[in-house]
Amino acid sequence: MFFQKREYPLTAENVKKAVVVAGRGAEVLRDVAGIQAELLDGKHHPCPNCGGKDRFRVVDVRAGEVFCNHGCFGGRKKADVLAVVQTMRDVTFSEAVQMVAEYVGVKALGDNLRDSHFSFSKKHYVKNETENEKIVKKPPCKPKHDLVPEKPKAARKPVRVTHYDYEDGAGLPHLRVTRWDYADGTKEVRPSHWDAERGEYVPGIAGQLRVPFNAVEVKEAEIVFFVEGEKCAAALKAYLTQEVLAEMNPPCFPDEVAVTCVIGGVNGFTQELAVWFLGKTVYILPDHDNPGYRFAWEVKRKIEQAAVKHERPSQVTVFRWQPETPEKWDIADALEEYPDDVNHAVERSYA
Ligand SMILES: [Zn+2]
């Protein structure tokens, strides 16, 4: 049951959904279908398949849907991204599904989920290996980010409620992390996802494709700072003003740089997230503890694997705090501790 829930079968629907969620329709048309970028601006153009003067246009950039008056793509005037790939590449439908899935990382998603949760099930197994009946009764421990969120206990009134919205690659509502801070210093963090029909966020993100925090910016950026948690991301983003970026080596513009993190803490980097970082320079700034570093190296490994597979080299650097740094220290702590001299503090702190 545990694993069934995590299966993402490679169906045409799942692949099309992945394209929409990532907002990468136009990229698929360009890179997978091989259509010239000039034809993908939504205006009327000659059809890349049947020519003419103005019979072709993209009708949905997110989904990669196009229109050809001659019905080139599968016989219908309006065609989805899979029909376009199939026609343009002259492949079978299932080959087209496979090609697009590969490009957006859907197949890897299924593989990876089994992979990344092996440690959970193994741990559970070892613990219970002589008590088989317990395994049947009790499901293995679930990773935190997949728990269905409950309302915080009624008796406790949070002193602060913070929402972190994870929009998709097209800037539309997709996932949300809500954090409740209590007077005693404890917190609860729960994810939810956007239900388009209801027009609101609903608890849980099981079955949803993950996107990185600040997805639109990540998509456009050349340099991405990857941190652990939204609080760090927000703090670092606020710090990286135009003035600060101008002094970086090399200097860069704000739109060339993004700050991101993922849902689910140190268990949150699923393989479909890796494709967001292809061809980019990625700096991972982990929390100063063992889970933080392990996570950082796992993120690096997954991005580099995807980079090889997709032939889009990424340069991923994992920073390490100086050994004397307090346990669990993170970039938000550094920015708080050294607001006047943060550049120096960060450089000094990281080896
Ligand atoms: Zn045509």
pLDDT, averaged in runs of 10, over the chain (351 residues)? 44 85 89 91 92 92 93 90 92 88 66 31 30 36 42 68 92 92 87 90 87 95 94 91 78 90 88 92 92 94 93 91 85 83 63 53
How far does the centroid of ligand 1 lie from the alpha carbon of residue 219, in Å? 30
CB-CB contact of 230 with 266 (8 Å): no
How far does the centroid of ligand 1 lie from the alpha carbon of residue 33, in Å? 14
How far does the centroid of ligand 1 lie from the alpha carbon of residue 28, in Å? 18
How far does the centroid of ligand 1 lie from the alpha carbon of residue 231, in Å? 49
How far does the centroid of ligand 1 lie from the alpha carbon of residue 67, in Å? 8
How far does the centroid of ligand 1 lie from the alpha carbon of residue 106, in Å? 28
How far does the centroid of ligand 1 lie from the alpha carbon of residue 78, in Å? 10
The pLDDT assigned to 347 comes to: 64
The pLDDT assigned to 154 comes to: 53
pTM of the complete model: 0.61
Strand partners, 190: 178
How far does the centroid of ligand 1 lie from the alpha carbon of residue 70, in Å? 5
d(CA 96, CA 20): 16
- Hey, where are the domains in the chain? 12-106, 109-143, 210-349
In sign, the C-alpha dihedral spanning 242, 163, 212, 25 is negative
The pLDDT assigned to 304 comes to: 95
Helix ranges restricted to H, the chain: 12-22, 25-31, 81-89, 93-104, 106-116, 118-127, 132-137, 215-220, 230-239, 242-246, 271-274, 290-310, 331-337, 342-349
The pLDDT assigned to 306 comes to: 92
CB-CB contact of 65 with 23 (8 Å): no
**For residue 213, how far is the Cα from the chain centroid?**
7
In sign, the C-alpha dihedral spanning 4, 10, 11, 13 is positive
How far does the centroid of ligand 1 lie from the alpha carbon of residue 69, in Å? 6
The pLDDT assigned to 263 comes to: 93
CB-CB contact of 257 with 236 (8 Å): no
The pLDDT assigned to 99 comes to: 87
Tokens in use for 54? 């103005």
How far does the centroid of ligand 1 lie from the alpha carbon of residue 10, in Å? 28
| Distance between first and last Cα of the chain | 44
The pLDDT assigned to 9 comes to: 67
How far does the centroid of ligand 1 lie from the alpha carbon of residue 75, in Å? 10
The pLDDT assigned to 343 comes to: 64
Q: The domain at 210-349 falls in which architecture?
A: 3-Layer(aba) Sandwich (3.40)
| Residue 156: CA count within 13 A, CB half-sphere | 16
How far does the centroid of ligand 1 lie from the alpha carbon of residue 88, in Å? 10
How far does the centroid of ligand 1 lie from the alpha carbon of residue 80, in Å? 13
How far does the centroid of ligand 1 lie from the alpha carbon of residue 34, in Å? 14
How far does the centroid of ligand 1 lie from the alpha carbon of residue 54, in Å? 10
Tokens in use for 224? 């991405």
How far does the centroid of ligand 1 lie from the alpha carbon of residue 84, in Å? 10
How far does the centroid of ligand 1 lie from the alpha carbon of residue 79, in Å? 11
How far does the centroid of ligand 1 lie from the alpha carbon of residue 74, in Å? 10
